[in-house]
Amino acid sequence: MDLHSGLPYWIIKNPLFDYYNPLKKDLETDIVIIGSGITGALMAHELCRTELECCVVDKRSIATGSSAASTALLQYEIDVPLCRMAEQIGEKNAVTAYRSCLQSISDIEAVLKETDIDADFERLPSIFYASDEKGVKLIEREYEIRKRYELPVELLNKGELHKRYKMRTYAGALLNRQSAQLDAYKAATQLFRYHIKKDHLQIFTYTKISSCEETPQGCRLKTKDDRTIRCKYVIVAAGFEAGQFLPEKVMKLTSTYALISHPIDNKDLWPEHSLIWETAEPYIYVRTSGNRIIIGGEDEDFNNPEARDELLREKTEKLEKKFHTLLPSVPFKAEMIWCGTFSTTKDGLPFIGTWPGTERIFFDLGYGGNGITFSMIGAQIISNLLQGKEDERKDVFGFGRIC
Ligand SMILES: Cc1cc2nc3c(=O)[nH]c(=O)nc-3n(C[C@H](O)[C@H](O)[C@H](O)COP(=O)(O)OP(=O)(O)OC[C@H]3O[C@@H](n4cnc5c(N)ncnc54)[C@H](O)[C@@H]3O)c2cc1C
């Protein structure tokens, strides 16, 4: 699958982790992680802290899938607002999902601190503004339910948004001060470097898994070059390409667009460099990286890479125009643009755990706008289950909700 095209900023900003190590002979190990993106990196990190032996396989170079294209905003707010999610899956589970995402941001921060990795992690506020009248009503309901469950949230009116943040909006917004951003490519590659050095973690790149089956003794994987890997457990961290390992389609693949500006004088940016997104669907979202601005959005309902790429110029113009309407005093000129495959689920939640009726093939699929926070949650749940520990979050994110 063509996961992204154009010029993703992160691969220009960071040196490529050029690690050529295809699997050349059959292998036997405890746990195989399929995928070396941010999910595989966080998963490997969690397992390296235990007594469990694992290795990673990837058909590409390390972390050059979706993680290299990610705009990497970290928010506890999920694509499906809490008030709507509560109607879909019940208030208790919806609140658990939101609280787990909130905790996940601190857990990602702790992982980077513990490994002494500088992946440009920054704590920032986040503004969720009402795009129209429907959005105003949504924000009122959302404020009420988040307040009730003591999730961090404040109300801002239109005047405050203009005065404090230079924003021209239809109405007010929700603000939370518990968001963050990072460089997901840097985080993933640095985590792998750390564990290769510290734990002799084996990573087999340019090794495509063509089949994966659960047997009474464990799991058997076949690579495209006809090598066999036998192991006790498999963890599928294959991102938007995981469909190959699932008995049924669980997610919808879509397309998304992103651009980064020329560097801008700091005095011209908005205060606090808060993350910004809106109630409209699909939504536009904005963050900074140093003194550049990143904008994303304009999602399309299809996943045909050629059709997706053809729209790149048109989407760039639309995103630039929306940004100018939102922050008219902030200069913005796109320098790099890119697009990628994306995925959503009906309830906005990821799929974490085993498929019902199986025991040894775990999935860590962080689908949706909170992909990275979900990856962290998945890594913890799967690590806990593999160690025989209970995890109260497992049913909220498990396949049981659709099977
Ligand atoms: C433009 C864009 C913006 C985004 N913005 C955000 C955001 O702001 N915040 C957020 O949280 N998330 C965001 N996301 C989503 C987020 O980037 C993803 O959820 C995350 O990167 C997924 O990481 P991953 O490791 O699961 O997948 P990937 O990074 O794609 O890694 C999966 C790996 O599995 C490997 N693989 C697949 N199949 C096989 C196989 N058969 N054999 C061997 N290897 C295989 C691939 O080669 C790949 O390297 C965005 C995504 C895009 C594209």
Which residues lie closer than 8 Å to 59 by C-beta, 6 or more apart? 206, 207, 208, 209, 224
Q: Is 82 a domain residue?
A: no
DSSP 343-377: EE-TTS--EEEEPTT-SSEEEEE--STTHHHHHHH
* Model pLDDT, residue 7: 84
Structure tokens at 258: 């992103």
207 pLDDT above the threshold of 90: yes
How far is ligand 1, taken at its centre, from the CA of residue 328, in Å? 33
CB 119 within 8 A of CB 189: no
Same domain (yes/no): 189, 136: no
Asked if residue 366 has its Cβ within 6 Å of ligand 1, the reply is yes
pLDDT band at 326 (very low <50, low <70, confident <90, very high): very high
Same domain (yes/no): 132, 46: no
Q: Is 12 a domain residue?
A: yes
% of the chain residues with pLDDT over 90: 92
* Model pLDDT, residue 277: 97
* Model pLDDT, residue 381: 98
- Omega into 247 within 30° of 0, i.e. cis? no
Rounded CA-CA distance 83/230 in Å is: 45
Asked if residue 287 has its Cβ within 6 Å of ligand 1, the reply is no
Give the residue from 297, 317, 344 where a domain finishes: 344
DSSP class of residue 130 equals -
* Model pLDDT, residue 322: 96
- Mean pLDDT, range 71-78, rounded to an integer: 97
For CA atoms 157, 159, 163, 166, the dihedral sign is positive
- Mean pLDDT, range 283-306, rounded to an integer: 94
Q: Is 325 a domain residue?
A: yes
Q: Hey, how many other C-beta atoms are within 10 angstroms of the C-beta on 216? A: 4
Same domain (yes/no): 338, 267: yes
* C-alpha distances in Å from residue 113, one per residue of 116, 132, 194, 239, 287: 5, 40, 12, 25, 22
Asked if residue 186 has its Cβ within 6 Å of ligand 1, the reply is no
How far is ligand 1, taken at its centre, from the CA of residue 35, in Å? 9
Could you list the residue range(s) of the whole structural domain that residue 11 is in?
A: 4-70+185-249+348-401
Give the residue from 322, 344, 366 where a domain finishes: 344
| Mean pLDDT, all residues of the chain | 96
* Model pLDDT, residue 180: 98
CB 287 within 8 A of CB 71: yes
% of the chain residues with pLDDT over 70: 100
How far is ligand 1, taken at its centre, from the CA of residue 228, in Å? 25
378 pLDDT above the threshold of 90: yes
**pLDDT digits 0-9 by tens, 383-403:** 999 999 999 999 999 999 988
Angle, helix 82-89 to helix 133-148, in steps of 10 degrees:
70
Same domain (yes/no): 361, 238: yes
Same domain (yes/no): 206, 232: yes
226 pLDDT above the threshold of 90: yes
- Mean pLDDT, range 108-124, rounded to an integer: 98
CB 83 within 8 A of CB 128: no
Same domain (yes/no): 241, 197: yes
Any idea what the CATH number is for the domain that residue 278 is in? Answer: 3.30.9.10
How far is ligand 1, taken at its centre, from the CA of residue 308, in Å? 17
pLDDT band at 28 (very low <50, low <70, confident <90, very high): very high
**pLDDT digits 0-9 by tens, 94-111:** 999 999 999 999 999 999
Rounded CA-CA distance 140/156 in Å is: 11
* Model pLDDT, residue 103: 98
Any idea what the CATH number is for the domain that residue 192 is in? Answer: 3.50.50.60
**Of 222, 263, 259, residue with least CA distance to 32:** 222
Q: Is 91 a domain residue?
A: no
Which residues lie closer than 8 Å to 378 by C-beta, 6 or more apart? 39, 42, 43, 237, 350, 352, 364, 365, 366, 397
**pLDDT digits 0-9 by tens, 145-184:** 999 999 999 999 999 999 999 999 999 999 999 999 999 9
Least confident of 160-164, 285-289, 299-303: 299-303
pLDDT band at 281 (very low <50, low <70, confident <90, very high): very high
* Model pLDDT, residue 186: 98
Structure tokens at 313: 């110029």
What's the structural domain count of the chain?
Answer: 2
Asked if residue 73 has its Cβ within 6 Å of ligand 1, the reply is yes
Asked if residue 209 has its Cβ within 6 Å of ligand 1, the reply is yes
Q: Which amino acid, residue 236?
A: V
> Helix (H, G, I), strand (E, B), or coil: what is residue 152?
coil
For CA atoms 134, 136, 142, 145, the dihedral sign is negative
64 pLDDT above the threshold of 90: yes
Which residues on adjacent β-strands are paired with residue 387?
A: none
51 pLDDT above the threshold of 90: no
303 pLDDT above the threshold of 90: no
Q: Is 260 a domain residue?
A: yes
